[in-house]
Amino acid sequence: MRSITVLYDEHCPLCVRCADWMWTQTKEVPMVLMGAHSKEAAERFSGLPWLGYELCVLSDEGDAWVGPGAFIMCLWALRDYRDWSYRLSADAFAPLAERFFRMLSNRRGGLAKWVQTEQACEGDRCRTCAPRPQSRA
């Protein structure tokens, strides 16, 4: 595997914060971060049934991970978190990691309020939901 593409909800402040954080990390595998609702994602991945509904990670070899598996793959691609990806995917911790990811995902609207660092909206324009770059390489 030479690279991965991470499809995240660019309208969710928590997801945006996580994507921004991943962007700053040292990567073992090149990572493209792309909004799941972007035009590029729709053109490239329209056949992906989870597009826009779940965190998705796609490899350049055609493999796909969704939800908790995608979360683990994101960690796997980051140099400082690769060991954690192995721990969290092991039999002992995989059920806990899945529950944690599902809990986070199901509550991300409420959690998003905690991660916003600036006034979210001005008039009818939300900064957190403003168009972001479609991909980062």
- Mean of the pLDDT values across residues 29-35? 96
pLDDT-derived band at 118 (thresholds 50, 70, 90) equals: low
Read off the pLDDT of each residue in 57-83 and give the average, rounded to a whole number.
95
Q: How far is CA 55 from the centre of its chain?
A: 5
Q: Which of 8-12, 50-54, 82-86, 106-110 has the lowest mean pLDDT?
A: 106-110
- Can you give the pTM of this predicted structure? 0.78
Each domain of the chain, given as residue ranges in start order, spans 4-136
Higher pLDDT, 25 or 103: 25
pLDDT for 36 beyond 60: yes
| Residue environment code for 39-64, b if the CB has 16+ CB neighbours within 10 A, otherwise e | eebeebbeebeebbebbbbbbeeeeb
pLDDT at 90: 93
**How confident is the model at residue 60, as a pLDDT?**
96
Q: Are 52 and 4 in contact (CB under 8 A)?
A: no
CA angle 41, 78, 99 (to 5 degrees): 75
Q: How far apart are CA 70 and CA 76, in angstroms?
A: 10
Question: What is the chain's alpha carbon radius of gyration, rounded to the nearest angstrom?
Answer: 15
